[in-house]
Amino acid sequence: MRLGKLQSKEGIIKSNYSHGRKQPKLPTIFINKSIQNNYMDSYLKHLQRVQVGESTLSKTSYIEYNFAKFLPTQDDPNYSVLEIGPGFGEFIQVLNHHHIYNLDIYDNDKTVLKYITKKYNIHHALCAPSIAKVANKLRQYDLIFILQVFEHIPKNQYRSFLTTIYNHLKPGGKIIITVPNGGNPLNIVERYGDLQHENAFTAFSLQDLTHYYNLKHATNTIQPYKIPPKSLINLFRILAQKLLHLILFITYLANGGIYQTIYHPNISLIITKNK
């Protein structure tokens, strides 16, 4: 895919692109003025540093295996998606594989949005310190996808963040939030041992979000973020992981509690808006 040169005017950046299929209007990057000196401008470099050894193909296979079941089985040009924190675009690749192109993205780092709009076809890219500041730019969505982002959000922003995205979810739509699993003690160092993370979540605290912030007509489920059984090495990793989970269960039991039941490194909260 080839894109034209980015041009900037009054905080709006438009990107021309060409593709072999009919596309919507030119995608627009809206950059809220308060974001210009945001400390997260270096987050793309942070992603490049922490993802050493983790290929894009590996991430897309994880996303496909764990979340493809939530995507429509037939082509629907009206099916709309908002991704918050698109990273290097792995979820966008999965969406395109399923012929889903009606996509908006949000990030608080403008370099991420510029990277994504150079590589993929999207409708709108929104940039602001918080998503509430660009709420008037959001549409109504069938799916809102948040992969390893929510743990970076300060607690005092949970209410505005969740109510904003829930208000832009269509009836019957889903919000998928995936975070490192605080119920696995190994994550304390491996997943939360940096300056980027604000909070650790367990399956219980994730489910509490819909109740504490009164998301009306919402139901939720929790699922582990599983290794896709796509190769011999992954099959070996799955067996080794089951052994580790047994050890963790015994450790919790010896410690006097067996409250945690999911020990995978990452867990997902799936919120459904029933009306």
Q: What is the DSSP string of the chain?
A: -EE---EEETTEEE--EE-SS---SPPEEEE-GGGTT-GGGGHHHHHHHHTTT--HHHHHHHHHHHHGGGS-SS--TT--EEEES-TTSHHHHHHHHTT---EEEEES-HHHHHHHHHHS--SEEEE-SSGGGGGGG---EEEEEEES-GGGS-GGGHHHHHHHHHHTEEEEEEEEEEEEBTTSTTHHHHTT-STT----B-HHHHHHHHHHTT-TTEEEEEEE-PPP--SHHHHHHHHHHHHHHHHHHHHHHHTT-------SSEEEEEEEE--
Is the domain of 1 the same as that of 137?
A: yes
> Does the pLDDT of residue 23 top 50, yes or no?
no
Helix axes 110-119, 43-50, angle to 10 degrees: 70
- Give residue 44's pLDDT: 59
Is the domain of 124 the same as that of 158?
A: no
Confidence band, pLDDT 50/70/90 cuts, at residue 22: very low
The percentage of the chain sitting over the pLDDT mark of 90, rounded to a whole number, equals 56
Q: pLDDT: is 203 or 175 the higher one?
A: 175
- Point out which residues pair with 84 in neighbouring strands: 106
- Give residue 137's pLDDT: 94
Residue 118 covered by a domain = yes
Kindly report the average pLDDT of the chain as a whole number: 82
Residue 139 covered by a domain = yes
> Does the pLDDT of residue 92 top 50, yes or no?
yes
Is the domain of 171 the same as that of 255?
A: yes
- Please count the structural domains in the chain: 2
Residue 109 covered by a domain = yes
Among the ranges given (154-163, 194-203, 256-265), the one the predictor scored with the smallest mean pLDDT: 194-203
Residue 67 covered by a domain = no
> Does the pLDDT of residue 93 top 70, yes or no?
yes
> Does the pLDDT of residue 229 top 80, yes or no?
yes
- Give residue 267's pLDDT: 96
Residue 10 covered by a domain = yes
Among the ranges given (140-154, 165-179, 181-195), the one the predictor scored with the smallest mean pLDDT: 181-195
Is the domain of 242 the same as that of 184?
A: yes
Among the ranges given (29-38, 148-157, 244-253), the one the predictor scored with the smallest mean pLDDT: 29-38
Which residues constitute the domain of residue 257? 148-275
Helix axes 90-97, 56-67, angle to 10 degrees: 60
